Structure 1
């Protein structure tokens, strides 16, 4: 070695400050990405699902009570479709048809409120109620409510599909 030549440098070595800088940079990137995602999420959905949450909760509780009362009655409904009508058959706990019910119903699209169809049911045979429909295609959410003369109620909901 020559006294005037510069000392030889060793190849690159990872030192403590390199590790500190790498770990700090990693966590800084993770925190920055999380902050960006939280800001974007909050701007698109501030958390308010309903403007009347208390009233919605009361309606939900009434719905639960109606379903429990329906279970105690033991009424069951079966729905069948054809291109021109919807048939709703209502039976009691023992499978006997339930005549004389007042049945109301509706069809709604699963993804939109537009195009709802109100159904007018009429009793054709004891326990069998028909509603005419026309020009339906695709998936529809069916809901019907049957009320008996003595006060019993049944709510039926199904997803129906027409070709």
Structure 2
């Protein structure tokens, strides 16, 4: 039996160049994909100035506790044709009637100016915006007031 000796292939400069180019191509491709995902899914700023927000944190907690004490609940904002609607209930699940509701609709990535919405009571506890809200994704900052009590909430509308 005759044994063959296999000679290893030479590692040349071409091989080294190909490996380096392939490595950086993968790194750049992954970075571009991740950057695309980050830009397309970014919902905007949460807080404009985190230091100022930290100074107001305890006040916000106190307001949230006060808001929870009156037990109001608001439904998810829904679209009704070109308007938006919300149902507001009291702690005993009865409709909250004659409340004043306003909202500021902001585009999540600032593609358009904020839109101020005012609401009118359509049915008992159901409020519909007077003005239209354009199609798309919007973040609504809603303010509800009734009998000296206030409630603030933020919801997204698609």
- 2:83 alignment partner, one of 55, 73, 85: 85
In structure 1, list runs of 5 or more residues that go unmatched.
1-48
1:113 Cα deviation after fit: 7.2
Inter-partner Cα distance in structure 1 for 2:133 and 2:117: 14
The aligned runs of 1:6-155 (5 Å cut-off) are 50=49, 53=51, 55-78=52-75, 79-112=77-110, 114-134=112-132, 136-149=134-147, 151-155=148-152
SS in 1 for 2:137: strand
Aligned pairs, how many? 110
Inter-partner Cα distance in structure 2 for 1:134 and 1:73: 30
Inter-partner Cα distance in structure 2 for 1:58 and 1:104: 26
CA, structure 1 residues 99+141, in 2 after alignment: closer, same or farther (shift >3 Å)? Answer: same
Structure having the higher Rg: 1
1:57 Cα deviation after fit: 2.8
TM-score by length of 1: 0.59
SS in 2 for 1:121: strand
1:131 Cα deviation after fit: 0.4
The answer on whether the counterparts of 2:84 and 2:133 sit within 8 Å (CA) in structure 1 is no
Give the structure 2 partner of residue 12 of structure 1.
none
RMSD of aligned residue pairs (Cα, Å): 2.1
SS in 1 for 2:66: helix
Give the structure 2 partner of residue 16 of structure 1.
none
Inter-partner Cα distance in structure 2 for 1:100 and 1:135: 23
The answer on whether the counterparts of 1:84 and 1:132 sit within 8 Å (CA) in structure 2 is no
In structure 2, list runs of 5 or more residues that go unmatched.
1-47
